[in-house]
Amino acid sequence: GGGGGGGKKGSKAARARQRKEEEERERERRIGETRAKAGPSLREEELKRLSAALAPHELRLHEIAADGHCLYRSIAHQLAAGDEASALDFRHCRRLAAEYIRSHADDFLPFLLAEHDFSDGLLESYCSQVELSSEWGGQLEITAIAHASRRCIAVHSADAPLLLTGAEYEGNGPRLQLAYHRHYYGLGEHYNALVPAD
C-alpha cells in the first residue's frame, strides 16, 4: 500500500477542486451564451446610461469575471490598485466580510432576519456562505468590507444615485469604485470595478 491515508484525502480534495473549477467554467460558458443572445437589449441601454453617469467622475469599467465572486473580485481589484505585489484576492474580501459580520452580529442580524427565517445558527450559516461559497454579495457585504477595511466604497449604477458606504473613511485612501449592473448578464446582477478613464 502506498503512503498512508493522506493520499486519498488529497486526491479527493483535488477532485472536488477540479469539479468546482469545471462548474465555474460551465457557468461562465452559459453566461457567455446568454450574453451573446441578449443583443442590444436592456444591457446595452444600461451601459449607455452608466457610461453617461461615470463621465463626470472620469471613470470607466474594468470588467470582472461573472462567477459569483464579482463583488469580492471588484473590491480586491480596488484594494490592490497601485500595489502590483498585493496578495489580495476575492477570498480575502469574502473572509473580511464574514469576520466583520460575525464580530458585529447585532448590527447585521436585523437585516438577515428581514430575508431569512430565524434559527439559532442563522448568523454563522450566513457567514459561512459568505466566506466559503460563490454566492454573490450585496449591500450587507459592502457595508461589512467598508468598515473592516476602513475605506469608503462608492457604488455607481445606471439608475440610482451614487451610493457611498463608509463615507466616514474618505480620508483613509481613494474610494473603492464599483459599478453595479442589473442587466449586464441575462443570468443576474453583476459588479465591475471602475478605473480612471484614459
Report the run of H or E that residue 7 belongs to, with start and end: helix 6-38
Active site residue 190: yes
Chain center to CA of 140: 11
Which one of 57, 62, 67, 104 is the catalytic residue? 67
Which one of 70, 93, 127, 152 is the catalytic residue? 70
Rounded to 10 deg, the angle between the 90-103 and 105-115 helix axes is 100
Q: How far apart are the first and last CA of the chain?
A: 61
Sheet holding 163-165, edge to edge: 59-62, 188-196, 176-185, 153-157, 163-165
Active site residue 70: yes
Which one of 147, 156, 181, 190 is the catalytic residue? 190
d(CA 54, CA 43): 16
Active site residue 67: yes
Chain center to CA of 113: 22
145 residue type, one letter:
I
Strands (E) across the chain are located at 59-62, 153-157, 163-165, 176-185, 188-196
d(CA 53, CA 159): 9
d(CA 196, CA 58): 6
Question: What is the set of active-site residues?
Answer: 67, 70, 190
